Chain A
């Protein structure tokens, strides 16, 4: 009693996971819940959170809505779908495999009745002659037949593309392969980000979760440049990168340009052009100092924040600078710098200096010295996305399988033709796994050709 109940329960669970209704439910369910994550910001910014009420934030966090596609219940739905398609395949595949691997070779009366296309043909000749004729006919017009002798009759069987029946299972397998690829990527790969100033280099990168990962080599940014169209829209973001091992440039990876849509890969780690910005650190400022009482002008270079000694014992440091002051100072243009000037034995004085075009403006400060700002060598940093994903080829293989499987399942048909040869003639039967109307035309065509042959 109990054993049958147990078996009954196991059977019920099995049937539940094999059911197509579950597939439909899961597919529609996944479609519906996926909407949530497109409406609620994922990995929310502070500004977005500020628009939500306290209760909402607590509710959304508890339900995992802020990282919905990695929440336990979404992953569970994906696992259920995987389990469902595995069970469905296990249940149905053996039956389909039997049709493919052990075809019905003999068309008997009851089987003949189950076929949609059947035609009796009265043909002259002995059954041996007819058998040979039909065999060569099928070989040239359809496919090579298998000949069986049974009850004094010859049975010929020929088929085309039987394996296309497996297309559905190839698609199911492809989904599992893609999931495996994704899992490999999430366990053994990482996504990271790094900023490198021009002339600088990095040998480790920071992942999204904040972990530092050593690269095992160094990447140096030689140069970064932006080009614009006449319309003002960006045309190209380009970094020139060099890979170094033990401080030595790697041949073939020296001064390699990378742009958006054309990354650099070294030892399985790929660097993608992602963003850029102005690097304060490293910019070189050019200043000219002249004594008001006369004398040759002195040209000086300074880095940001660096205290530079001026003639006469004063010091100067550049706090920040721009190549174009128009946005900051009405009525002025050209380069400008915010500086801190410390006269010999005096207190620091902050002020702005401009180019030599504005001599009277510059003359307001600096004591005995006339200081002008000549400009600067602007430095950028390049923002690189860094990715290492050993699972990606598994994913592509899965995608390839999916396309092949879908084409097999949708666009190909398993066509079968039987011929029963007796002394009085030939009975031809046929069936196809898809597109019955199309096969009927193909079958009628065969029948017509036999008549003429």
Chain B
């Protein structure tokens, strides 16, 4: 048994979970919705074991570091955090339809990592040999994951709102009938961002602390740093929009989607298009 096999199993189960959630929207059966959640939970547990096993494998190879050091490992960890935040919100509020809009993010991450990223376990280069690596990566990705969930919820909000405006009879049936009401979606969006914002703030602070410890500068306007600040600005604007008349609902949902787009650019775009300190060992 290798971690790679378990990651493949995880990917398949996330795909199954996504399909079940779609079946839930179509069938409107509570049992199907619950099955989708349990599938996601099983996938999450297998992925947890896989990450643990990969960690052990790195020790067996004599490198011995947490599996958070290159693009493959970060994408896998991102998928894991997305499912974790989704499961927390799912078990607390039980709006199963959200699964169809969130699990695809995790599925896409796993598929990309497994199919096209280099999954070799490499030893850490000197710059990454620090305990700060774990604190920094864990806080950042938990934050990113909460934003991913908020983005899924906001997309639901925008779909449901435009359908309602278009005069579609939501109560009568169709896929929308399993969506929570827009008031609840708005609230859930806010709750997910309330999880993400403190974690992003901590992620930026731990990154600054690490940079100061390793290089003597806590802030150097490196593209990655700047983009994380851009993401922080967008969600700070979102939080202030919540208490401003005329900015609740639709505009808040759009800000949340923009915020997640900025998050993804901060995570991947900066490495693909710009140069800087975070090269994922490439």
Interface residues of A (CB under 8 A from B): 20-21, 23-24, 27-28, 30-31, 34-35, 37-39, 42, 69, 182, 191, 229, 231, 233-237, 259-261, 263, 270, 272-274, 385-387, 389, 392, 395-396, 399, 402-403, 406-407, 410-411
Interchain CA distance A190-B209 in the complex, whole Å: 18
Instruction: Enumerate B190-212 residues with CB–CB distance to A below 8 Å.
Output: 194, 197-198, 201-202, 205, 208-209, 212
Q: Which residues of B contact A34 (CB under 8 A)?
A: 226, 229-230, 233
**B175 at interface by CB-CB < 8 Å:** no
Task: Name the CB-closest residue of B to A38.
Answer: B223
**B171 at interface by CB-CB < 8 Å:** no
Q: Judge whether B123 and A28 touch: CB under 8 Å.
A: no
User: Closest CB of chain A to B193's CB: distance in Å?
Assistant: 10
User: Closest CB of chain A to B144's CB: distance in Å?
Assistant: 17
For the complex with contacts A28-B233, A392-B218, 12 further pairs of A-B residues with Cβ separation under 8 Å are A20-B244, A24-B247, A27-B236, A31-B237, A42-B221, A69-B221, A234-B126, A259-B129, A263-B213, A395-B218, A406-B197, A406-B198
**B264 at interface by CB-CB < 8 Å:** no
Residue in A231, A387, A406 whose CB lies within 8 Å of B217? A387
**B270 at interface by CB-CB < 8 Å:** yes
Interface residues of B (CB under 8 A from A): 122-123, 125-127, 129-130, 132, 194, 197-198, 201-202, 205, 208-209, 212-219, 221, 223, 226-227, 229-230, 233-234, 236-237, 240-241, 243-244, 247, 262, 270, 274
A260-B233 CB under 8 A given contacts A37-B221, A38-B274, A402-B201: no
Q: Which residues of B contact A30 (CB under 8 A)?
A: 233
Task: Name the CB-closest residue of B to A407.
Answer: B198
Q: Judge whether B233 and A274 touch: CB under 8 Å.
A: no
Q: Judge whether A27 and B127 touch: CB under 8 Å.
A: no
User: Closest CB of chain B to A315's CB: distance in Å?
Assistant: 44
Interchain CA distance A289-B130 in the complex, whole Å: 50
Q: Which residues of A contact B201 (CB under 8 A)?
A: 402-403, 406
Q: Judge whether B125 and A234 touch: CB under 8 Å.
A: yes
Task: Name the CB-closest residue of B to A395.
Answer: B218
Q: Which residues of A contact B214 (CB under 8 A)?
A: 260-261, 263, 272
User: Closest CB of chain B to A382's CB: distance in Å?
Assistant: 13
Interchain CA distance A403-B223 in the complex, whole Å: 24
Q: Judge whether B240 and A23 touch: CB under 8 Å.
A: yes
Q: Judge whether B127 and A260 touch: CB under 8 Å.
A: yes
Q: Judge whether B202 and A20 touch: CB under 8 Å.
A: no
Residue in B132, B213, B274 whose CB lies within 8 Å of A39? B274
